[in-house]
Homo-oligomer: A and B are copies of this chain.
Amino acid sequence: MRATLLYGAGDVRVESVPDPRVMQPTDAIVTVTRACICGSDLWPYQSMERSDSGRRMGHEFIGVVDDVGADVRNVKRGDLVVAPFAWSDGTCIFCRQGLQTSCLHGGFWGGELDGGQGEAVRVPLADGTLVVLPVGRDHALMPSLLTLTDVMGTGHHAALAAKVGPGKIVAVVGDGAVGLCGVIAARRLGAERIILLGRHADRIALAREFGATDIVPERGEEAIARVLELTNGLGAHSVLECVGHGAAMSTALNIARAGGAVGRVGVPQDEAMTGSQPAFYKNVTIAGGPAPVRAYIEELLPDIMEGKIQPGRVFDRSTNLDGVPDGYRAMNEREAIKVMIEF
């Protein structure tokens, strides 16, 4: 089969790799029908050191079950399934409390495993990981369903971590796909006002349609001053950090009001967090991390099926597998918000 590999910064290739096959009785083999490129894929795309063997890419996919191991009970051949960006057993102490990204026996795609940006994937712990979708493979809602693998669940996680609720003033740092899904999540949870910190016209337009009430295009100190101005000098109750740069986190901590919360889902690029001292003096809570999107699929799926939320609109470009390298380039150059891969 063919799959996407990254060989170093800027060097994405689609190549032939071995076909996956059932290796453990808990495995399923999934033939991918849709996948996509993630903002977090851009971190290694921008900085990965050269590798001779390459790194398998992609962690967001929907597909059809092609084969299952002897112990698999919850999915069967022919099922259309969605896979969260982390695989998990569904039974360990952390899975039972809905934190599947910390599953004691699970992990993330790539590495020794297949990535999602390829024709097929061996899915370990299939019963815990996969969720059967109630539609056919080419259903019109497929783009929105695909966001259940990561960005919509991640935006929702940021909103929960930031304690969004009715009457709250929410600020979303970052206008990427996760930030835009954070706007959807904040509105869905009843936020009174949603301030988006972003500066790309296409993303801002979409954010407004998703429910953003105010746009702050400034950055750094100017952005902080602007948010404070918009909030009577108090800051936002809930801040969703959807970037991962230290500067974005510092902005997030500075625009949170006393007693407020920052939900961080941008993968932190710095080991140390600056701005944590002012956050202390304000009693600002810092929560979040890799979203346990597996836990959120059941909750978000009905809203997608009923058309209440349309996170699939973050996809503004579609390609086949051969177009994946150019998809990385387009997202990296902010030409595209998020690229969907159709097989």
Contact = CB atoms under 8 A, between A and B. Distances in A.
Contacts of A276: 268, 271-273, 276, 286
Contacts of A280: 264, 267-268, 288-290
Interface string A263-305: 0100110111111110111111111111010000000000000
Interface in A98-144: 99, 101-102
Interface string A206-218: 0000000000000
Interface residues of A, number: 34
Given A99-B258, A99-B259, A259-B102, A281 B274 contact: no
Contacts of A97: 259
Among A264, A285, A288, the one with the most B-chain Cβ atoms within 10 Å of its Cβ is A285
B274 A271 contact: yes
A16 to B, nearest CB: 33
A234 B99 CA distance: 14
Contacts of A23: none
A273 B270 CA distance: 10
Contacts of A275: 271
A288 B285 CA distance: 7
A258 B94 contact: yes
A230 interface: no
A205 interface: no
A93 interface: yes
Nearest to A285: B287
B259 A94 contact: yes
A99 to B, nearest CB: 4
Nearest to A233: B104
12 contacts: A97-B259, A161-B285, A268-B277, A271-B274, A272-B272, A272-B276, A276-B286, A280-B289, A281-B289, A283-B292, A285-B285, A286-B287
Given A94-B259, A264-B280, A276-B276, 15 more contacts: A94-B258, A97-B259, A102-B258, A161-B285, A268-B276, A270-B277, A276-B286, A279-B289, A280-B289, A280-B290, A281-B289, A282-B289, A283-B287, A283-B289, A285-B285
